Amino acid sequence: MECADGTVVHAEFVAGADGQHGAARASAPWELFTEYRMQHEFRWLTLLAEAPPSSDSTIYAVHPAGFAGHLLRSDTVTRFHLQVPFADTVDDWPDDRIWHELRIRLAQPGWTLNEGPVFSKNMLEMQSKVCEPMRHGRVFLLGDAAHIITPSGGKGMNLAMADAAELDAVLARFAESGDETDLDVYSARASPTSGRRRSSATRSST
Ligand SMILES: Cc1cc2nc3c(=O)[nH]c(=O)nc-3n(C[C@H](O)[C@H](O)[C@H](O)COP(=O)(O)OP(=O)(O)OC[C@H]3O[C@@H](n4cnc5c(N)ncnc54)[C@H](O)[C@@H]3O)c2cc1C
């Protein structure tokens, strides 16, 4: 493999764990891959506020105006998510509009929303993509290089770590057997579309 600066790297295996915009996926021969994609028609505005959590647990609120989330970060900082129209930008959401909307969507009887200065605001793409197979020859795709899951599930990092464990097991088996068909198992087992993954439990804290 030749790097941009001309450095040549010799490797028996390549683990492409360089994220969704990395070189591993970009250099894959696309005609050999199938990409399954789902793009939602909205985005999440995600923000961090200097405000103590208003509850001792995560809140995912389903409201006719759209989803709202309240997530604990520390004693003094809370993360919030707001479902917003796809075409909206951060500039469409000044702080007073955000708090107004959060008060409406998170409202519960006898409950008060703690508010404070917003110090981080970003738009999150709500899309899922899975690339199959996750292996081409001796190049293996891991984590976001192979699959993106919307942040709502809090699952992407879990899947990336599970891919690494799966690849470790596959390579260990191959080291013993020397049988190339042992490498085929990786993509079938690591893909989020596989039955094994669909039934696996994950922890999350999006
Ligand atoms: C807002 C948000 C909240 C999330 N919350 C959760 C959650 O609660 N739970 C969960 O499980 N997941 C969560 N995720 C998803 C999770 O962050 C990702 O799925 C996970 O980080 C993917 O890991 P990765 O190692 O595949 O890729 P990345 O984390 O993207 O790591 C790839 C690394 O490769 C490096 N790299 C890229 N190109 C090169 C190069 N040419 N040379 C050297 N290095 C390179 C990058 O700098 C980066 O460090 C969340 C994502 C978002 C956006």
What integer pLDDT is reported at residue 27 of this predicted model?
A: 81
From the CA of 155, give the closest atom in ligand 1.
11
Residue 77 sits at the vertex; the CA angle it makes with 88 and 53, to the nearest 5 degrees, is: 95
Report yes or no: 66 and 89 within 8 Å, Cβ to Cβ: no
pLDDT band at residue 47, thresholds of 50, 70 and 90?
A: very high
| Mean pLDDT, the chain, whole residue set | 89
pLDDT digits (tens, 9 = 90+) for 101-149: 999 999 999 999 999 999 999 999 899 999 889 998 899 999 999 999 8
* Rg, C-alpha atoms of the chain: 21
**Residue 156 CA to ligand 1 centre (angstroms):** 8
Q: Where are the domains of the chain?
A: 14-34+129-198, 42-124
Is the previous residue joined to 133 through a cis bond, with omega within 30 degrees of 0? yes
* CATH 3.50.50.60 holds for 14-34+129-198: yes
- Amino acid code (one letter) for 9: V
DSSP state, residue 205: -
Report the DSSP pairing between strands 68-72 and 78-85.
antiparallel
Query: Does residue 79 have a pLDDT over 60?
Result: yes
**Residue 144 CA to ligand 1 centre (angstroms):** 6
What integer pLDDT is reported at residue 101 of this predicted model?
A: 98
Q: Among 144, 163, 197, 204, which is best to mutate for testing ligand 1, by the most ligand atoms less than 8 A from CB?
A: 144
* 60 bridge partner residues: 69
Report the DSSP pairing between strands 118-124 and 42-49.
antiparallel
Query: Does residue 195 have a pLDDT over 80?
Result: no
pLDDT band at residue 87, thresholds of 50, 70 and 90?
A: very high
Report yes or no: 156 and 148 within 8 Å, Cβ to Cβ: yes
What integer pLDDT is reported at residue 196 of this predicted model?
A: 52
**Residue 188 CA to ligand 1 centre (angstroms):** 22
For ligand 1, residues with CB inside 6 Å are 17-19, 22-23, 46, 124, 143-145, 151, 154-158, 160, 204-206
Q: Which fold has domain 42-124?
A: D-Amino Acid Oxidase; Chain A, domain 2 (3.30.9)
Buried-state track 41-51, b at ≥16 Cβ within 10 A, e below 16: eebbbbbbbeb
Residue 164's Cβ-side half-sphere holds a number of Cα atoms within 13 Å equal to: 9
Report yes or no: 85 and 42 within 8 Å, Cβ to Cβ: yes
Query: Does residue 169 have a pLDDT over 70?
Result: yes
Query: Does residue 62 have a pLDDT over 70?
Result: yes
Contacts of 169 (CB under 8 A, 6+ apart): none
